[in-house]
Amino acid sequence: MGNGILVIAEHEGGVFKKSAAELVAKAKALGLGPVTALVIGHAGGAELGGFGADAVLTVTGGDTSRYSVATYVSAIQAAIAAVNPAAVFASAGAQARDGMPRLAARLGLGVGADVTELRLDGGALVGRRPLYAGKALADVRVSSSPAVFTLRANAFGVPASTGAAAPVSALAVSVSGALTKVVDREAPTSSVVDLTEADRIVSGGRSVASKDGYDKLIRPLAGAIGATPGASRACVDAGFAPHSHQVGQTGKVVNPSLYIAMGISGQIQHLAGMRTSKIIVAVNKDATAPIFQHATYGIVADMFEVGPLLQAELQAALAG
């Protein structure tokens, strides 16, 4: 049985994602021993000590500056061998979905995927995760050592940094099992926070009617409150918004503090991607739309009339 928790700290070009601090802080709060952050493709990470990291391991050089599943899995395997943790935490994003099943198969580990709650019960970690598109919740225990959990972003919150610095040391890694090679990477052109980490999201449905309607209604409302624009699958399939904006079972799973659904009916595929949002505001002309069964606040009205009014009120509230 290991001791402590290993946290995979994701970053974008050396800038740590919010989930990195969130996972480190949660790991520290559980009190299972020392918290070690693993940083792949970046030589820094001392600032994670301000959120509870006791040590930072870095893997750099070679192809680590570009994500590849072989490097990701080999780095985590080497870190597990180095620190012998009781548990491994990773953000439930694209990298973990790609790499954690391979890590589990290689080391014979169990994985509690996409958990939104995590607690200790008799000294054992118990994760709670949505099932059946969020219709049910299941408590998951992992009997393997280390126990692996992927945690949904925004589930636990990020405390203020104490300003402490964690010691950083390099970890030597031998990459094995590489079947592919990353030859180039296209960096995102948008400056807004990625949907999976966004604290506020404004999404539009097919009833925005056009790309112009989406750009004139959803993007300004999102920009006014520092939110990330999103969309339903129907909106994306119609070509009104890019696929990177899609929220739902076949898009991105999100967990913001505020989710504003404009003209979205609330079919089960969409609910699967946003049902755990803390506050859901729905605007729809159809009073029988399923989204109202899950909304914290519902407005039965034309979104093109309500949108500008809502934008003005939210701007005024934020300014005050």
The rounded mean pLDDT for the chain is: 93
Domain ranges of the chain: 5-170, 195-319
**The whole model's pTM is what?**
0.88
DSSP 50-110: GGT-SEEEEE-STTTTS--HHHHHHHHHHHHHHH--SEEEEESSHHHHHHHHHHHHHHT--
pLDDT classification of 284: cutoffs 50, 70, 90:
very high
Domain 5-170 and domain 195-319 have a common topology: yes
Q: What is the mean pLDDT of residues 44-55?
A: 97
Q: What is the pLDDT of residue 177?
A: 63
Q: Which CATH architecture has domain 195-319?
A: 3-Layer(aba) Sandwich (3.40)
List, in order, residues 6 or more apart from 162 with CB less than 8 Å away.
Answer: 49, 50, 51
Give the residue from 261, 298, 257 showing the smallest Cα distance to 279: 257
* Whether CATH 3.30.505.10 fits 5-170: no
Q: What is the mean pLDDT of residues 273-298?
A: 96
pLDDT of 176 strictly over 70: no
Q: What is the pLDDT of residue 188?
A: 66
Give the residue from 181, 115, 182 showing the smallest Cα distance to 142: 115
Largest CA distance in the chain: 60
CA of 133: how far to CAs of 86, 128, 269, in Å?
30, 14, 7
> In the structure encoding, which two tokens stand for residue 138, read together?
């299941």
